Chain A
Amino acid sequence: DMKVTQMPRYLIKRMGENVLLECGQDMSHETMYWYRQDPGLGLQLIYISYDVDSNSEGDIPKGYRVSRKKREHFSLILDSAKTNQTSVYFCASSFGTVNTEVFFGKGTRLTVV
C-alpha cells in the first residue's frame, strides 16, 4: 500500500515551544520533501532530502530544520515556534528520477498561539 503518513494531523503550540512533525513512507523513495501551504501561496518547499543525511534547503528554510536518519522517515523541527509558522505542512516523497510522481501525506495543520 503506497502511503505517506504524517503525524500528528492537528497540533496547537504556544509561541516559543519546540515542534516536531513526523513523516513516514513505505515506498522506499529516496527523495522526501517538506512543504508548507498558506492561502494564495501554493506549496512552498522548506527542505528536501535526497537520502539519509543528505538534506538541502528549499525556498523557505529559515526557522526550520530537518532530520533523516532512515530512508523511510523524515522529520521537520521548529525550534521555538513563531506565530507566522502557523500553516498546513505537507510531507511528500518520490523516486529520485526526473520524471517522477510525488506522493503527499494528508498534512499537519499547525497553529502557533
Chain B
Amino acid sequence: QQKVQQSPESLSVPEGGMASLNCTSSDRNFQYFWWYRQHSGEGPKALMSIFSDGDKKEGRFTAHLNKASLHVSLHIRDSQPSDSALYFCAASEPGTGGYKVVFGSGTRLLVSP
C-alpha cells in the first residue's frame, strides 16, 4: 500500500470552476506536506507547502491540512486551462541517512475551456 494516497485519479472541471484534490497518509511520521504540479513534458515543480493544521492560501490555490486524520487537500478556484496538469502530494519521512520525500501516484486535472 502506498504511504501517500491521492484521489481522485483524474478530475475534469470547466474553466472558472473549483477543483478539489485529496491526499491521505497512512504514516503518522508524515508531518510536512507539499503539493507539486507537473505539466506535460516537464519535471514536477513545487506548488505550495503546508506544515500546520488549517488552511494556507496562495492566490487561487488553497491547501488544507488535518494532522489528526493525516488528510491534505488542494483546492483550485477559478480554474484555468493552464492548470491542466498532473498534481502530486508529497511528504517527508526519515530515511537511513536523512529525510526522503515520498510522492503519491498523482491526480490528473483537466480544465476545459
Contact = CB atoms under 8 A, between A and B. Distances in A.
A42 B104 contact: yes
B43 to A, nearest CB: 3
A101 interface: yes
Interface size class of A (residues with CB under 8 A): 20 to 34
Interface in A8-66: 30-31, 33, 35, 40-43, 45, 48, 50-51, 54, 56, 58
A75 interface: no
A42 B37 CA distance: 12
Interface residues of B, number: 28
Contacts of A51: 97
A105 B105 contact: no
Contact of B103 (A42, A97, A98, A99): A42
A101 B92 CA distance: 10
Given A41-B105, A42-B104, A43-B103, A99 B32 contact: yes
